Amino acid sequence: MFNKRESNESEASSRSGSDNPSTTAHQSPAPARSPGGAGGAATIGPSISIDGQLKGEEDLVVEGRIKGTVELKNNTLTVGTQGTLDAEVFAHTIFVEGTVNGDLYASERISIRKSARIRGNILAPRISLEDGAKFRGSIDMDADSEAFRKAFGGKPSAASSATAKPTTQTGAANSDNGEKGKQAQGAHSGSGSPATPSGQQSGKTGTSAA
């Protein structure tokens, strides 16, 4: 399903809106494997939580927690069985096996597995849902809809517009609360699992936790 590649994550750590942003980040000796079987893609492990904006140019498996925005416009995002997103997501293809609270936009396809728990709006031209999935929200399959055009159509799509914004450095803008808080990015590494290298911002080729 995915190309095998080394994890190339960089996560900047801070707590959005916190007075005392922590900036811990760690190097992972090897990419974590997805229990869901989507091995090979960059992986955010179960102990990692990210609060902010995450974007990249490679496939990503999330087994940790993300709050904010995820942009993988040309790639596949898999929310693994342990993954929890409280986020707005823009991707080419999205597989959900875990928990999502937020809106999902895919230019190609969204696949909801039976273990998924979703509350939010999802929008893609092709959507599949396995019986047993818990879903509450709306599923928009109308590629001519205004919402779809806003997300992917026209020149600067919502996703690309957001991508064009300069990303905030780790710990910066944390004094801004509310909406601006979402722009303040960082990763907060939990305990017990190897994590990824300390990096203020993402590498150019890697998935960024900006």
Partner 1 sequence: MSNAAPTLAGQAPGHSRERVKVPLLAELLAGGSADRRRVWADLGSAQSGLVEQLTGGRNRLIVADLPGALANADAQWFLPDKALDEMFWTEPVDCILCWDLLNYMDPGQLGELSRRVGRLARPGSSLHALIQYSGTSMSRFPGRYGLDSDGQLSVVPADAPQTRTPRYSPKALEKAMPQLRVERTMLLNNGMQEFMFSVR
- Contacts (CB under 8 A) with partner 1, residues 188-207: none
Please, what sign has the CA dihedral across residues 124, 166, 199, 185?
negative
Nearest-approach distance from CB 129 to partner 1, in angstroms: 5
The reply to whether 149 sits near partner 1 by the rule CB under 8 A is no
Query: Measured in Å, how far apart are the chain's first and last C-alpha atoms?
Result: 26
Kindly tell me which residue out of 18, 26, 108, 127 binds partner 1, with binding defined by CB under 8 A.
127
Which is nearer to partner 1, 139 or 162 (by Cβ)? Answer: 139
Closest distance between partner 1 and the C-beta of residue 112, in Å?
8
**What's the min distance (Å) between Cβ of 94 and partner 1?**
15
Among 4, 19, 136, 179, binds partner 1 (CB under 8 A): 136
Q: Beta-carbon neighbour count of residue 210 at 10 Å?
A: 31
Q: Is 126 in the site for partner 1 (CB under 8 A)?
A: yes
Q: Applying CB under 8 A, does 141 fall inside the site for partner 1?
A: yes
| DSSP-based three-state secondary structure for 58 | coil
Residue 154 tokens, joined: 């026209």
Closer residue to partner 1, CB minimum distance, 133 or 162: 133
Among 3, 24, 27, 145, indicate the residue that binds partner 1 (CB under 8 A). Answer: 145
What does the alpha-carbon distance between residue 79 and residue 176 come to, in Å, rounded to a whole number? 29
What is the spatial distance between Cα 65 and Cα 100, in angstroms, rounded to a whole number?
10
Contact 105, 77 (CB under 8 A): no
C-alpha–C-alpha distance, residues 66 and 38, integer Å:
18
135 contacts partner 1 (rule: CB under 8 A) = yes
What the block records as the tokens of 157 is 């799509």
Which of 20, 29, 30, 144 binds partner 1 (CB under 8 A)? It is 144
Options 24, 134, 177, 203; binder of partner 1; rule CB under 8 A: 134
3-state helix, strand, coil in the chain (%, to 5): 10, 40, 55
Q: Which residues bind partner 1 (CB under 8 A)?
A: 112, 114, 117, 121, 126-142, 144-145
